[in-house]
Structure 1
Amino acid sequence: MRPPMKRLSLIASALVLAGCSTMNPRPVVDIAGPTYVAPQVVEAPVVSNGAIFQATQYRPLFEDHRARLVGDSITVQIVEKVSASQKSTSSIDKSGKLAAEVTALPGIASNSFGRASAAGSSSNTFEGKGSTENTNDFSGTITAVVTGVLPNGHLLIAGEKQIGVNHNVDVLRFSGQVDPRAIQPGNSVASAQIANVRIEHRGRGAQADAQGIGWLGRFFLNVLPI
């Protein structure tokens, strides 16, 4: 093979592989995306006055441990169950009938043209039905870390868990905004009481690759019109 032809074949192969890699892009889940205006960080001066209350590291003396400061951990009980259904039915039925008959005209004998008549009818019928149903059920447990504290006291949390077995890796990521009053004894909170929740559960490895369609099958699915 001539060098120019060999170079062209390599370029064509690279373009084909690049096109195949973009035919099935993986959906992206935004984790810990800011949905608020972060205030400017002001470093509080360290005061060693011997007082019980310290603004930068205060924890109540008569309370079980709960997440309050940046770096504290909190257990999240993921209980997400969403179900939605919708049904619609419409029906239209319309019909009409018209009949006319001429028996006599002024100045013309009634038997001169026999019996003239005309008739017509119309009918229109429409019927449509539709239904939509969606169910999502997700449960699990993950321990997250406080990554920030808002001026109103709400906690920004984020956590990640990765489990690798043989050639497969299971990844679970979680982030959200927690009201400290929703934290239960035992330093746990249900995901249904967390705002701006972001959950991602994906797999990497041979098991995850088996869930997708091969590049040749995706090519024909994109090219064929049926």
Structure 2
Amino acid sequence: MKTAKPHKAAGALLLAIGLAVTGVRAESLYSENSFRPLTGDNKAFRIGDAVTVQVLENSSASTNADTTTRRKNGVNADFSLTRNPNVTAGVNVGGDFDGGGRTQRTSKLLAQLTVSVIGILPNGDLQLAGEQVLYVNDEEQRVKLEGRARPQDISDGNIIVSTRLADARIKYVGDGDLTERQRRGWWRSFLDWIGF
């Protein structure tokens, strides 16, 4: 009958003591932060997830104003001198002003872009932010979106309509020669400012 060698037994003993001192830790395959059940939908629910936003914004505003003012002032004076014939002077000042204005503005924006979840609020709402850049005929078109979404407003296809976003900030800007030509010149803005 063979007996265990002393150095092998000492090694096993040291290994057992080392594991007892450091503590054995087992990790689970289940993670609360990333777990999604097999029957779950594909909705965004954590930071870094993507959400598709359909931007459907229509706005319309109209304002009318009419102003009419009339003013008439009169001053008469009569002077009489003993050496010369009577001198009479008179001044009449009058003015009429009729003014009116109308402002009407209508805007429509249709776009679709995918943004990221950048934060989760204490009440469970998702903070969304993202940007899309398009180039059309050397013109840069940029759509930037920020907002807050309730998870229940996100459809099963992971899509939300922009009218369901709270605190939404949607910016649509263009940059290029065509956009620059549509801007008024500084001198025209200055003349408007001083009243010409």
Scaled to the shorter chain, the TM-score interval is 0.5 to 0.7
Which TM-score applies when normalising by structure 2?
0.61
Aligned residue for 1:170, secondary structure, equals strand
Higher strand share: 2
Deviations 1:134-153 (A, max 9, x none): 54322211111111111221
Alignment partner of 1:186 is 2:157: yes
Instruction: Output the amino acid matched with 2:49.
Output: D
2:114 counterpart (135, 143, 166): 143
Residue 160 (1) aligns with residue 157 (2): no
Match of 1:58 in 2: 35
3-state DSSP of counterpart to 2:155:
coil
Q: What amino acid sits opposite 1:50 in the alignment?
A: L
How many residues in Structure 1 have an aligned counterpart in Structure 2? 138
Identity within the alignment, %: 33
Q: State the Cα RMSD in Å.
A: 2.8
The Cα of 1:208 is off from its aligned counterpart by: 1.1
Q: Describe the superposition over 1:177-203 as per-residue Cα deviations: whole angstroms up to 9, x where unpaired.
A: 010001112110111111111000011
Which one has a bigger Cα radius of gyration? 2
Counterpart of 1:49 (choices 3, 24, 28) is: 28
Consecutive unaligned residues of structure 2, counting only runs of 5 or more, are 1-25, 66-99
1:169 corresponds to which residue? 140
Q: 1:216 and 1:158, CA in 2 relative to 1: closer, same or farther beyond 3 A?
A: same
Q: Which has the higher contact order (CA 8 A, sep 6+)?
A: 1
Structure 1 residues not aligned, in runs of 5+ = 1-46, 89-128
Secondary structure at 1:58's aligned position in 2? coil
SS in 1 for 2:179: helix
TM-aligned CA deviation for residue 68 of structure 1: 0.9
